[in-house]
Structure 1
Amino acid sequence: MKKNFILCGLIGWCLEILFTAFDSFRRRELTLVGKTSLWMFPIYGLAVIIKPLYQKLKNVPTLIRAFAYSMLIFTAEYIFGSILKKYRVCPWDYSKARTNIKGVIRLDYAPYWMLTGLLYEKILCRKKYEKHTL
């Protein structure tokens, strides 16, 4: 579980850096600077919960699982964003987005969170194949 926590934290960091770099490209900032925060590592690490959740939902259609993952991610984002915001250390502020909730969630990010959840599922729940020798 520790290894998967670290793996999830690293994947989350990488995804956030890529996402913010693409956003800078969209704003025509060709430096393509992507950024994240140390606070995000343990938050992304909590995606480790997707593996046991998948075990309960594996027979459920992919779209329903993706929706469940996005709701889980929104919940974590809301809780941790609210706590970090209280101490004025929240690394994100969505208050200018039309679909924000208290500046810590953007509902229009649901498709991204659905895909992210499915990516974590794919990585955390992959089958490990043994090499067979002839």
Structure 2
Amino acid sequence: MSTPAERTLESLPNNGLPDVVRFLFFGMHGFLDEIIFTSIFNLVENLDRTMSGHTSLWSFLMYGSCSFVVEKLYLHLRFRRGWSTWRRLPIYICFIYTWEFCWGLALRQYGACSWDYSHYPFNFMGLITLLYLPGWVCISLYQDILSNVLLRHSGQGADINVCPVSRKDKCIIGLERTGRGPNEFHCE
């Protein structure tokens, strides 16, 4: 049995980008992020002023699917559980490290893993390293913002801003209009 907040959230129109478009966007965004990150890392670590970065086609699937699932976590944890960003962040980080490890382990079985962190401190099996933790934290915070933008209700320029305030007999869901007058509240 769903709560009033869940029923209202499910009934809101979703005029954001379709799932497949968001998946493609996340995959391409991951490509770009990895090229920029490896380029900067090579400059800092190896003094490589060519600023050349690299990635693998597997990264498209890896980033696209990971970000897509993190987006689902965002929806569940923010809107259904009411968790703040700082409470969601450790979940995202654990998920990202698990995702990277599992993909790396599977790709390594076929000789297709494009990374090896075994020369970095705090690595596990060369597939993940805590050295990248600050980067994953920043990407996770950015993912929260990005998910909100990509899922935005675009019908009237409104942001879906669900604030489940559960009480015994009512739940307030706020739909905040941007530049279009006062807030509207749907109560059940």
TM-score by length of 1: 0.90
Aligned ranges for residues 44-63 of structure 1 at < 5 Å? 44-46=63-65, 47-58=67-78, 59-63=82-86
Cα distance in 2 for partners of 1:123, 1:20 equals 22
Q: Does 1:12 align with 2:30?
A: yes
User: Structure 1 regions of 5+ residues with no counterpart?
Assistant: none
Pick one of 62, 69, 87 that aligns with 1:64. 87
Q: Is the 8 A contact 1:6 1:45 kept in 2?
A: yes
Q: How many residues align?
A: 133
Cα distance in 1 for partners of 2:131, 2:90 equals 13
TM-score by length of 2: 0.66
Pick one of 129, 141, 146 that aligns with 1:118. 141
Instruction: Tell me which amino acid in the other structure corresponds to 1:49.
Output: V
Cα distance in 2 for partners of 1:51, 1:39 equals 20
The structure number with the bigger radius of gyration is: 2
Residue 90 of structure 1 aligns to a residue whose secondary structure is coil
Question: Which structure is higher in strand share?
Answer: 2
What's the counterpart of residue 41 of structure 1?
60
Deviation at 1:87, TM superposition (A): 1.2
Question: Which structure is higher in helix share?
Answer: 1
Q: Is the 8 A contact 1:69 1:117 kept in 2?
A: yes
Write out per-residue CA displacement over residues 78-112 of structure 1, whole angstroms, 9 at most, x where no aligned residue.
10100111111100000111111011001221221
User: Structure 2 regions of 5+ residues with no counterpart?
Assistant: 1-18, 158-178, 180-188
Q: RMSD over aligned Cα, in angstroms?
A: 1.8
Write out per-residue CA displacement over residues 47-104 of structure 1, whole angstroms, 9 at most, x where no aligned residue.
1112221122213232222221111110110101001111111000001111110110
Deviation at 1:128, TM superposition (A): 4.2
Q: Does 1:30 align with 2:53?
A: no
Q: Does 1:103 align with 2:126?
A: yes
